[in-house]
Structure 1
């Protein structure tokens, strides 16, 4: 790697100017960056379940509604009912709104002497003026059980306004509608009233708001934390500024390239800047640390440069490339946000690597020797942190190498515990639980869940063999039975609704509004189907046939059964789905098909893609890392040694998740790639320096020789590994301040893994090497022909 050092020394100013020009180019596009806060994009656009859901929305209306919960002392007061009617009218006029369901739009069905009367519970043309008028509304609501705790809470203290957007509305349209709705509500809000927002569209919009807030809050914290650690490590201005400038430029290149290529920032991608600050600083740390180390031991600037590049150049390059490979394998994911995340983290990491080997050395070459280095040269001492780090590494390596059997026994025990813990890992997802407790959205959703049937919606689509199939009383009976079965089986199912509820209400209305007739016409009656058809005809004369659009299609061939749940966990969702299909198979005629979709069901589909992608990316990451490290060590065995600490660390990660009951979801699915991509750096640096010590010192392949090599490596590269692990862990820990729980878990788990991989590299690898004595450890390093060509070790 001497050629790279010579290149930097020859064109330092040119390198800096080129970097500046590229940075200005990408920086120009950063203001154009967009956010992708559409939760639906976590499922591939060609997925059959996603396509079916889009078709369902076109037919029955948008699932991604904006729920508004109005909480007051008593909904059934004339002034409150009047306000609901006024708000409904205003909200229906908002561009992008297809319909609004509220007390002022949902219609009551009542029998009269003339037949059937259909009218809104609160008619804007005949608004209630007295308490008696309001009380009649209450009485009518409670005569139709499907509306209690759905439209109005049982205690009368809350009511919902459900705003349905145009089918499959893009997120920008959802944002416009949401903000206009909020504006209208704020204008009408009075003392004693509280409004609470939830629903799919609300989640999509606030996802974008919170993502931007996260970036504004976490980036400065990440820079400050890493800067503090760098100062404690180097105690020089360049030691702090150069790694930060390095990663700052890499962040600009990465986010700018996303904007240039019109790739939006999704939830995982918002973590990219913080990850690059944590990861990208590592390469600069190794370069600066080794350069200072050479200078502090008496080498001149040019000699120090060449020695630095010769010793760690290949190791830094391979460490960077393996990290690129670790994250890059996420590009194989079917989940578009994860694919984008993998590609651009890999790009940013590669940019950090290139900058660390060109831009950082160019700046170092142009500066005078740092004062701290001269002082160190005189007194032979480092700062307190450096002395502690050396002592720590000496101690742990000495203990491990002098107690090799005990070390392996402990490692084997950890492996066994990790396997047990990993077996406890479970897959779960819950869109509302992405947001940290205490956020406005979580609080609002909790209020709506308390008063109503829930905000997680399933759509059960029933399709018959021909038109008017849904008018069959037996099918209506089966719908009703399915609704009752699901609500009885699962306490977290709050409400269900289908065409059967309308038919039961019509039957009751046409039988003098007697509650005992709130049933489906008798199946055994040969005239029952004709009776159902007559009810629907009578309804169309007084009401609007379009009132049923969200539960049945125009030809009555397809029907939609709506299920509202208070729990959005995909574990619970899977149970509900299994029960629906089992019931349908046992009760619906064979020629009828039943299929589940809806906003509560789709996260279950996403989980399948996440799990499949997780397995594929872990395997491909380990293979890619093994091949790349085999190249650097010119030995498949050498590559195998590098993935030993990684494999153990990945298992420990899953064990932590299993024992702490942390689910595998969109955030934690990234952890293993981070562990492999970043953690392999420590193995590479340790093995490279270990082999360097063995060859330059001409140490024998004995236990004593391996001990000396391990001891020397621990106080040089081992020290840089410790700094690196702490810096990376601290950078990732910044994510615990995120609004999003997947990123909180990602940050905490990766921080843990940095310590397990770094410790495994420094403790476990030398023990294994001393036992197995692989041949690759005495082969000449890449770029040299024999040990005589290598510079002598610094100490």
Structure 2
């Protein structure tokens, strides 16, 4: 089969290259016309997951939506934000945000729009703090007095020291382009950045918009560096401009085909998808290196041999390892399809598409290119130099075979230590951790967390069976006690519920006496106050905190962190409190982005474990089938399993979290690391079936495959190290973790796999006769 394909390619090389160029041009236009970024974090989560479905129902019921948060700080004025210029700025920004089509009507909260609940001779009054912007110092001083007296506003919308104020614009439900919104908000605040006040922009929509803004910049920075480094290392490895060019065309075309197919199918580019080009550029060189390294060896050994015969020999000897490595690498990435996280599934699928494309180009385009361009012009080394090149791998072979049991024992010890480190791995889906401290979004988040309640919202719902349950003071007081307990936590800024309204109304209806700043003692008084507010204020304010039947009570928590572990701890405390109070009668539910992000991180961990298990089992079965030996599957999989454990051990030991990016490591390690094992096993089998003894087989297999494997590892590691230049810390972590995984896998293949072969003496290598040869 391969002979016929090779003959056809060598007969019509220009036709082959033209067809490839036409298809590549088609996919290039698809990328140009249809590629789009997706940064809405809700799109990362499975729509049919019960926790996400329940959260969405509560979001609809209580109008829970993400908000853009603008903070205005004025330290230069002794009165802080309480001056005419800054108040005018807050008013203008508030009005501009209200006009945005993405913002829900009437859902901008600031000093301009906030209501002040007061008592009067006529009952309850709910009015804005001012009808007209205060201009005189007396009016401004009165505003400050009113705000500081109302704890529903003072300390929440205006900082306690009076130096900063918030403007919160809640978004409409539905599809919103986060990048476009981010750019609009930046344009709104731009004219005010040159003044005495400082402007900070935060909130989840801004995090997502910032991500969409920085992602293309990150790609534009990384990919040229990847290409340059790999070109440089490839040239040093292959010693030929022609070979370097062909190898790079393979990886570039495979990248275009993968992204082109993604764009053609209308699948968006997620944050994690931006790593696909880097992955394919780093991965795609493997096949080319093995093919062209073999060709170089044959040219040096037989420089007078016919060009077509050399190309055919390259194809005949290496087509099977190339196909096997590509299939197993693709299988490793396809194991990510088991993940519940949509972007990770797409990442696995289209990286696998790229790997298979690279295999196609390697077996078709490289022979065609060699026929058109000619064989590499190599400087033939002297025999003494060639002998020196082989010396290292010869000594390595002898050392491992002599100390084979020690190699196995040391590997077991390292694995046990790494497994202990892996037990300390923690999961985290924090989006803010994707940015460095000097990024604008990080500085804004830190400022708001230090001066206000926080930028992360956790929504708590108590659900009763009977109507009017949450008019009972007993239950409301226990909820208030819970609110107080939670606010004592360092990472919880403020809480907000129906109790805040009841306490404020109770106080102002009793001549502002502080002793009445509490939940009313009677059910009738609670009902009366709620009726008063619905007539005097906006009933929708209460609709956000209690349902129509007073059966479901909503408590908003403002957090100063979006770290998964902290959110888990807060939820555990809430559930513990509820179980030991009158609230134990009710269902305790959670909603909003902080909660769904916590569930999301759990899905990541589950997907990681399942993906790794499927990868290892799948690779074991594939190797066993391809070599017709379970021993081959075991020898190939063990170094990869050790690599995965060592990587997780490093993550646990160094405090690196498991997130949407680092969750990919196990499948990447399996998919790429098995490449080394297949080429080693193929070479062992090649020489074993030709009757060489065990020592000769090991020496020849390690000398030939070890060199190509090492070259491959160096090039791929160089490619992955480019990720350390990424704008996003998780991507930088991925760069060094995958590089470490490849290095450990390389060492494991050249030591553990060789030791196991020597100990097991598998039949698929040593018990075949010469006349049983399979086509290689």
Matching residue of 2:719? 731
Matching residue of 2:21? 20
Task: Call closer, same or farther: CA 1:648–1:389 in 2, change over 3 Å.
Answer: farther
- Per the alignment, in what secondary structure is the counterpart of residue 371 of structure 1? coil
Residue 226 (str. 1) matches residue 230 (str. 2):
yes
Matching residue of 2:748? 760
Contact 2:458 2:556 in 1 (8 A): yes
- How much does 1:353 deviate? 0.8
- How much does 1:175 deviate? 3.8
Range 679-688 or range 443-452, more displaced: 443-452
Contact 2:506 2:517 in 1 (8 A): yes
The whole-number CA distance in structure 2 between the counterparts of 1:45 and 1:312 is 45
Paired residues for 1:628-777 under 5 Å: 628-696=622-690, 698-700=691-693, 705-706=694-695, 708-777=696-765
Matching residue of 2:418? 418
Residue 331 (str. 1) matches residue 337 (str. 2):
yes
Matching residue of 2:372? 366
Structure 1 portions without partners, runs of 5+: 523-527
Matching residue of 1:33? 35
Matching residue of 2:484? 484
Match of 1:314 among 310, 316, 320: 320
Match of 1:549 among 535, 540, 543: 543
Residue 128 (str. 1) matches residue 122 (str. 2):
no
Contact 1:295 1:301 in 2 (8 A): no
- Deviation track 1:404-426 (CA, whole Å, cap 9, x = no partner) reads 33323322221221222222222
Contact 1:171 1:205 in 2 (8 A): no
The whole-number CA distance in structure 2 between the counterparts of 1:591 and 1:403 is 67
The whole-number CA distance in structure 1 between the counterparts of 2:576 and 2:618 is 43
Residue 102 (str. 1) matches residue 107 (str. 2):
no
Matching residue of 1:516? 515
Match of 2:586 among 577, 584, 592: 592
Matching residue of 2:202? 198
- Per the alignment, in what secondary structure is the counterpart of residue 593 of structure 2? coil
Matching residue of 1:255? 259
Matching residue of 1:525? none
The whole-number CA distance in structure 2 between the counterparts of 1:497 and 1:633 is 65
- Deviation track 1:548-585 (CA, whole Å, cap 9, x = no partner) reads 33322344332210101112211111111111122223
Contact 2:180 2:209 in 1 (8 A): no
Contact 2:65 2:172 in 1 (8 A): no
- Per the alignment, in what secondary structure is the counterpart of residue 145 of structure 1? coil
Residue 455 (str. 1) matches residue 455 (str. 2):
yes
Matching residue of 1:65? 67
Contact 1:218 1:735 in 2 (8 A): yes
Aligned residues: 766
- Deviation track 1:378-397 (CA, whole Å, cap 9, x = no partner) reads x4577xxx998755434433
Match of 1:145 among 139, 151, 156: 151
- How much does 1:85 deviate? 2.1
The whole-number CA distance in structure 1 between the counterparts of 2:586 and 2:775 is 78
Residue 533 (str. 1) matches residue 527 (str. 2):
yes
Contact 1:62 1:165 in 2 (8 A): no
Contact 2:507 2:514 in 1 (8 A): yes
- How much does 1:4 deviate? 3.9
Contact 1:737 1:744 in 2 (8 A): yes
- Per the alignment, in what secondary structure is the counterpart of residue 601 of structure 1? helix
Give the aligned CA root-mean-square deviation in angstroms.
Answer: 2.1
Range 641-650 or range 130-139, more displaced: 130-139
Task: Call closer, same or farther: CA 1:462–1:17 in 2, change over 3 Å.
Answer: same
- How much does 1:214 deviate? 1.5
Residue 86 (str. 1) matches residue 92 (str. 2):
yes
Contact 1:322 1:625 in 2 (8 A): yes
The whole-number CA distance in structure 2 between the counterparts of 1:177 and 1:150 is 24
Question: TM-score under structure 1 normalisation?
Answer: 0.93
- How much does 1:53 deviate? 2.1
Structure 2 portions without partners, runs of 5+: none
The whole-number CA distance in structure 2 between the counterparts of 1:655 and 1:542 is 61
Question: TM-score under structure 2 normalisation?
Answer: 0.95
- Deviation track 1:418-443 (CA, whole Å, cap 9, x = no partner) reads 22222222222312112233222112
- How much does 1:465 deviate? 2.8
Matching residue of 2:427? 427
